[in-house]
Amino acid sequence: MTRPSHPMATKSTTNATSKSIQIKFTPTMNLTTSKRKVHKRIRLLNKRSKYRINKAGESAALTKHFCRLRQMNEDNLPYQNIPWDVNKHFEAVDAYEGIVMTMFVLPQLIYVYPILFILLLPPVALNLLYITWIVTEKCNRIRRDTFIWKLHVLIQALLCIPALAIALLSLLVSRIAMQVFGLAYCILDDEAVARMHRNLRIIEPYNDGPMLLLYFDDLVSGVAGMVHRRGLLEFTSSFALMFIINPWIKYWLTGNIYCSELGERFVTQIGEGKDLDAKQMRRRVKTYISRAKSPDTTRRYIASAFFCPHFQYPPEKRFFAIGLEHSTISALVHTTHFKTSQEIPLSIPTCISPTAELPIYRVVSKPMLKSIDMMCIFSNISVLKILWRNNPYHIFTGVVEANITTGMHCPEHPMWLISGHNKLACDHNVMLSTGWIDTFFEGFLPHISHFVNSSDIEK
One-letter-per-residue 3-state SS of 173-227 = HHHHHHHHHHHHHHHCCCCHHHHHHHHHHHHHHHCCCCCHHHHHHHHHHHHHHHH
- Confidence bin at 355 (pLDDT 50/70/90): low
The amino acid present at 348, given as its one-letter code, is I
The mean-pLDDT minimum among 69-78, 145-154, 246-255, 440-449 falls in 69-78
Q: What is the DSSP letter of 402?
A: E
- Cα separation of 440 and 432, whole Å? 9
Contacts of 12 (CB under 8 A, 6+ apart): 267, 268, 269, 438, 439, 442
- Confidence bin at 157 (pLDDT 50/70/90): very high
Q: What is the pLDDT of residue 218?
A: 92
Q: For residue 296, how far is the Cα from the chain centroid?
A: 27
Q: What is the pLDDT of residue 54?
A: 53
Q: What is the pLDDT of residue 338?
A: 61
* Confidence check: pLDDT of 342 > 50: no
Q: What is the pLDDT of residue 14?
A: 40
* CB-based burial label for 255 (10 Å; 0-12, 13-18, 19+): buried
Mean pLDDT, the chain, rounded, equals 76
The amino acid present at 138, given as its one-letter code, is K
* Confidence check: pLDDT of 28 > 60: no
**CA distances (Å), origin 431, targets 33, 131, 136, 442:** 37, 34, 40, 14
Give pairs for 155-162: CB < 8 Å, separation 24+: 155/126, 156/123, 156/126, 156/127, 156/216, 156/220, 157/216, 159/122, 159/123, 159/126, 160/120, 160/123, 162/119
- Confidence bin at 318 (pLDDT 50/70/90): confident
* Confidence check: pLDDT of 367 > 50: no
Highest-confidence segment of 93-102, 341-350, 355-364, 394-403 = 93-102
- Name the residue with higher pLDDT: 401 or 49: 401
- Cα separation of 368 and 290, whole Å? 24
Ramachandran angles phi, psi of 310, nearest 5°: -135, 100
Could you give the percent of the chain with pLDDT greater than 70? Answer: 66
Q: What is the pLDDT of residue 276?
A: 60
Give pairs for 138-145: CB < 8 Å, separation 24+: 138/291, 138/293, 138/294, 138/295, 139/291, 139/292, 139/293, 140/286, 140/290, 140/291, 140/292, 140/313, 141/221, 141/292, 141/312, 141/313, 142/221, 142/224, 142/225, 142/292, 142/293, 144/217, 144/221, 144/315
pLDDT digits (tens, 9 = 90+) for 427-438: 988 999 988 988
Highest-confidence segment of 19-33, 105-119, 186-200 = 105-119
Q: Tell me if 351 sits within 8 A of 381, measured CB to CB.
A: no
Ramachandran angles phi, psi of 324, nearest 5°: -135, 150
- Cα separation of 156 and 321, whole Å? 18
- Confidence bin at 252 (pLDDT 50/70/90): very high
- Cα separation of 281 and 275, whole Å? 10
Average pLDDT of the segment spanning 71-92: 66
Q: Tell me if 422 sits within 8 A of 261, measured CB to CB.
A: no
Ramachandran angles phi, psi of 323, nearest 5°: -120, -170
The mean-pLDDT minimum among 46-50, 121-125, 300-304, 365-369 falls in 365-369
Q: Tell me if 159 sits within 8 A of 126, measured CB to CB.
A: yes
